[in-house]
Every structure is written in C-alpha cells, then in structure tokens.
C-alpha cells in the first residue's frame, strides 16, 4: 500500500519508542491514511496512501470493514475520523475499529476533528474545509463553533456536490428560459461522455453523491476560460463559505482570525481559492488566510497520539519507485522518432506504420505464453469461473473494452468476463488522480467483486509495476484464484506468486512513455487472443462464425439472419422468420433448422 513517491515527515514530540500510530481521514472522495512511528527526532511517516471513500453515513458497515482491512494491521494507536460521523456515532465507529485493531488504542470522530487538528493543532482560528462537502469550524480556547456540513441534502453549500448540482440546475434553467445549448452545457456533456441534455438528466437521476461531485472540476475548467455561468457558480459557493466564516468568527469574537483552508477544492483549484479570499476580504479585511500545512490524516494521527503541542514537520522525498519506472523499456526514448515535430504528415504516418512491426514481433515472441494464457482462461471459464481484467489508465480501459464486447459477441453473461478499472467508471473517460498508486485499492476491488478460487485474474500494466494491479493480483492469489500479469517491460523487477507472466517487448514508444501506442496495440491483441481463444474452446464459435452473438441491433440482426441462412441452408427471409419465432435467439433458430432438416 506504499505510494510510488512517498513523503517522509517528522513530528517533534515525546512518545514511547517503537510506537506505531495510524491516522485515517475518510470523506466522500477518498480515505486517506498515514502510518507514523517513533524516531530519534520525533514521529516519522513510514507509509501513507489512499483508499475509496468512507463517509460514515453513506457507506455501509460491511463496506467500511472491507476498507479498514486494507489499512496497515500493525498499529498501537489508531485515529479514524470520518465525514458523517456525529457524536452519537463515535461508539459504533470505535467498535468497528476494535474488530480490525483489537490491541490498539482507538480515537474516532468526525473529519471536522482531524481537520481542526491538522490546521490549528491546539491553536485558535477557523478551518474552512471544501471537498465533496463543505464545512466551517472555529475554535477559541475550549469553545468550538460550526457552520455548514449538514450533509448533501440539507447543506454542504460550497462543496463539490453543491457546485455540481448548481451547474446542472443552471444548465436546465438556461435552456428553459432561452432555449438552445450553451458552451457550458457542451463542456459538461463532454466531461461525462454524454450526448444530449436528456442523457444528462437521466445520468443525474441515477448518479450518487460522489459521482455528481466530480463535475466540480469541469466547473473550474470553464471558469478559467471566463465562462459566465461557471464564474457565477463559483461566486455563489465561495460567497456562502465566506458568510459561514464571518458568522463563526462573530460567535467566537475573533476579530482578525487565522483562517486555514482544507479540502480538494482549495488544494487543486486556485480559481476557488482566489474567489474565496476575495469574498472574505470584503467581509473580514483583517483575516489571515492560508493553506493548511498538514493533511487531515496527519491530524488524525496527531489526535491518536494525544500530543500536547502542535506538531511540526519536515519533508524528505524518496524517488525509489520512480527510479524503477524510469528503467522501464516503455519509458526509454526511441531514436527512430527523434525530431518528431519536424516530420511531414506523410512521414509521420510512415513512421507509425513502420513501428508496428515491433508489435507483431513482440506477439510472435510471446506466442507460447499467450497460448498458455488461453488455456488457463478456458479452463477457468469451463468450471464456471470468471475472467477479471485489472488495470489503470490505458491498460484498464483496454480490459474494460474487451470485457464489454463478450456478451454481444458470444452471448456470454456479463459476469463471465469483467473489467476492474483503477478509479472506477469515471476513469474510463477521464484521468482520476492517483487512482493507480494504491495497492490497497486494488485488493479492495478484488474483495468487493467476490473473486473466488475458480476465477482467473489478469493484471494489465505496461510497466509491470502499477501498485493497483499488483495489489489486486496479490489479493486474488490469497483467495486461491489463478493469476496472470501482462506487461510490455521485460526488464521489470519480477514479483512472486503470479502463475503466468507475459512480457510483450514492443520497445520504446514513438512518443516517449505514451504506452497507448505500441504497448496499447499489443495489449489489445493479447486480450483479444485470451477472450476469443477461450470462447472458441467453450464452443461459442462454429467454423469462424459467432453462433452465440446477441442480435441487439439492426446490424447484428442482419448478421444473425445471414448466419442462419448459411448454416441452416435456407434463404434470408426464412432465416429471419426462424429468428423471429425464437425471439432472435440464434442458437435456438439454428437448432430449429437442424430439426427441420432431420425430419425432411
């Protein structure tokens, strides 16, 4: 569960030697954690990472238990602070934590608590937290005042969900009043890979809180282009947060408070930070606004450690994981494509075509291993097992693509071949920050899909080092499933316990490091080989014809009719009649033809 480029942070405090402290902060976007231990100069971060969301009110107990089991098991103290955890919920959260860490001292509560600790330590001031939701919390001495943070139905104004809902409402209101489509509407549709306003409405009606909140990024992107609608939404969001901040300061009698900003909306998008600063300055010109220097998960660890002084820290970067990536063959420069920008269109095309020879050579070199992969997949499916493709980025999208083609092509159940994508469905059409970096998230995905001993899991990683993929394979192996790893990096560091490893030596890319090119092409062919070969072995093909296809559109119905006409020795009209009588079940229509033929 170690991130590829971890930070090392040192806290100055006095604690028993060797004590390990786990800090966890969970919200609507992610679960962030950090593990610290005693060092000669204080507490030192030894590991950290992120897992899927863990809002206490929106996440089932079983789901929380599964997430917690992917966190480090060895800890003497555990601080877990989750969004949605009220005062009445703390005992339930503590009991759940005690199941996972029975010997640890547990501190549990709301993400407000960890945010306050991270931003202020024991000091006075106000914390404005804007992520999926939003809240304002202030402290002066022993007194704490709050505003916002009532949940996405009643409150959370100024958070990502709020901004996204405002965007949806504005789009529809603008259409109702003025008709036609705006550029802002087009931006939203593009970001969600939707084609019409009606599709957008259906999507919004079925999307959950976290999915809707992801639209905030598109609002910020539009605002940077001076889109009036996006700027209006941002002004509304930051206006509410500045009003809450003023109200909390007034109740605490803080005239020139320290105001610390937390959360993804402030950290990633300076447009939101600048808008909030501008709004607050008009209301409280003497307020001192700054970004939090510590993350909420560090605040959670701070609370679990029961420190008496605010923690100070330094950061040392470690590049070990990146050095491994830098040695990958796919990351090397291709001498044949240097000066790419100087080529004409014709020369560029010729270069791409010439480079494809390396794809074919890589596949031929791995032919025996690919054949073994087909046999393993076919054997698993024959025993009612399932094939899972696991990947991130291009690799994950290719796996999801191949899996999605199996039901219409071969008539197999959608459960037979499944894709697991780092970052979930949103990552299919847009980048999800850091999704591939977490081994624990990969293991959790395997757990939640219910992978069993009869199944086979194929990890896809051009570099062969993607943590999400390796974590998934390790968890699958623990469950007794067979495992394969498909890479394009023969120079990688070999792992242990993987049943079949296939390295497609496609070489350096035309565009350095862009593995959607040759590596992606070779990977797509390999996945085609696995799934098609297995379906052939399972009797889903007659000759070279798809006798199991599902005729779900005009093109496929036409193909089915031609197939029945050829195999059933009848004309096109009779083939259509047979298919219609059998509810367009291709196998049934072919069986009817055989029965008729036998009786003639």
The DSSP letter of residue 153 is T
Please state, as a whole number, how many other Cβ atoms lie within 10 Å of the Cβ of residue 555.
Answer: 9
| Helical spans, DSSP H, in 101-196 | 111-120, 160-178, 183-192
Do 101 and 87 meet the contact criterion of CB atoms below 8 Å apart?
no
Closest CA to 409 of 203, 158, 586, 241: 586
Q: Is 338 assigned a catalytic role?
A: no
Within the chain, what is the greatest distance between any pair of CA atoms? 98
Location of structure tokens 């993607």? 466
Location of structure tokens 């009110």? 57
Task: Write the DSSP string, 75-113.
Answer: -SEEEEEETT--GGGHHHHHHHHHHH-TTSEEEEEEHHH
Closest CA to 468 of 432, 437, 431: 437
Do 48 and 7 meet the contact criterion of CB atoms below 8 Å apart?
yes
Instruction: Name the burial class of residue 74, with classes exposed (0-12), middle (13-18) and buried (19+) by CB atoms within 10 angstroms of its CB.
Output: exposed
Determine which one of 25, 436, 505, 509 is catalytic.
436
The 3-state DSSP class for residue 25 equals strand
What's the rounded Cα separation, in Å, for the pair 105 and 70? 19
Determine which one of 405, 433, 574, 577 is catalytic.
405
| Helical spans, DSSP H, in 479-599 | 518-537, 554-567, 572-581, 586-599
Q: Is 181 assigned a catalytic role?
A: no
Q: Which positions are annotated as active-site residues?
A: 405, 436
């Amino acid at each position: 569960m170690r991130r590829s480029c971890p930070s090392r942070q040192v806290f100055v405090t006095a604690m028993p030697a060797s004590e390990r402290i786990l800090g966890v902060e969970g919200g609507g976007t992610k679960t962030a954690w950090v593990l610290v231990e005693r060092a000669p100069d204080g507490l030192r971060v030894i590991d950290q990472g992120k897992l899927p969301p863990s809002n206490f009110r929106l996440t089932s107990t079983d789901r929380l238990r599964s997430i917690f089991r992917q966190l480090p098991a060895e800890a003497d103290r555990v601080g877990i602070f989750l969004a949605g955890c009220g005062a009445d919920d703390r005992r339930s959260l503590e009991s759940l934590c005690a199941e996972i860490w029975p010997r640890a001292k547990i501190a549990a509560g709301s993400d407000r608590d960890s945010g306050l600790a991270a931003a202020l330590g024991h000091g006075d001031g106000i914390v404005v937290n804007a992520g999926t939701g939003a809240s304002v919390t202030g402290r002066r001495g022993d007194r704490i005042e709050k505003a916002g943070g009532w949940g996405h139905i009643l409150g959370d104004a100024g958070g990502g969900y709020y901004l996204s809902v405002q965007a949806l409402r504005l789009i529809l209101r603008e259409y109702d009043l003025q008709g036609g489509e705006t550029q802002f509407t087009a931006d939203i549709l593009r970001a969600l890979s939707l084609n019409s306003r009606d599709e957008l409405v259906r999507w919004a009606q079925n999307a959950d809180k976290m999915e809707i909140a992801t639209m905030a990024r598109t609002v910020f992107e539009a605002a940077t282009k001076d889109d009036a609608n996006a700027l209006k939404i941002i002004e509304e969001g930051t206006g509410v947060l500045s009003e809450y901040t003023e109200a909390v300061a007034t109740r605490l009698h803080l005239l020139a408070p320290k105001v610390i900003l937390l959360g993804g909306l402030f950290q990633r998008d300076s447009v939101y930070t600048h808008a909030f600063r501008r709004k607050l300055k008009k209301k409280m010109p003497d307020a001192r606004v700054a970004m939090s220097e510590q993350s909420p998960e560090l605040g959670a660890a701070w609370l679990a450690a029961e420190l008496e002084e605010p923690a100070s820290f330094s950061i040392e970067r470690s590049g070990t994981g990146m050095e491994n990536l830098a040695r990958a063959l796919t990351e090397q420069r291709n001498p044949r494509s240097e000066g790419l920008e100087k080529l004409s269109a014709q020369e560029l095309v010729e270069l791409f075509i010439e480079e494809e020879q390396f794809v074919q050579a890589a596949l031929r070199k791995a032919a025996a291993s690919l054949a073994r992969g087909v046999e393993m997949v076919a054997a698993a499916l024959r025993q009612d097992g399932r094939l899972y493709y696991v990947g991130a980025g291009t690799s994950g999208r290719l796996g999801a693509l191949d899996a999605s083609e199996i039901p219409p092509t071969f008539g197999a159940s959608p459960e037979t071949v499944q894709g697991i994508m780092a970052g979930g469905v949103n990552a299919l059409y847009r980048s999800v920050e850091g999704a591939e970096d977490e081994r624990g998230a990969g293991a959790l995905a395997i757990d939640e899909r219910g992978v069993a001993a009869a199944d086979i899991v194929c990890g896809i990683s051009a570099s062969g080092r993607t943590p999400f993929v390796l974590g998934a394979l390790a968890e699958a192996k623990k469950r007794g499933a067979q495992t394969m790893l498909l890479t394009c990096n023969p120079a990688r560091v070999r792992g242990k316990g993987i049943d079949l490893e296939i390295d497609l030596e496609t070489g350096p890319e035309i565009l350095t490091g862009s593995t959607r090119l040759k590596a992606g092409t070779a990977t797509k062919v390999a996945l085609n080989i696995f799934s098609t070969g297995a379906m052939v072995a399972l009797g889903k093909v007659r000759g070279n014809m798809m006798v199991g296809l599902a005729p779900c559109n005009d093109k496929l119905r036409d193909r089915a009719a031609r197939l029945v006409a050829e195999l059933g020795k009848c004309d096109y009209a009779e083939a259509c009649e047979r298919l219609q009588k059998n509810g367009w079940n291709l196998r049934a229509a072919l069986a009817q033809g055989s029965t008729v033929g036998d009786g003639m």
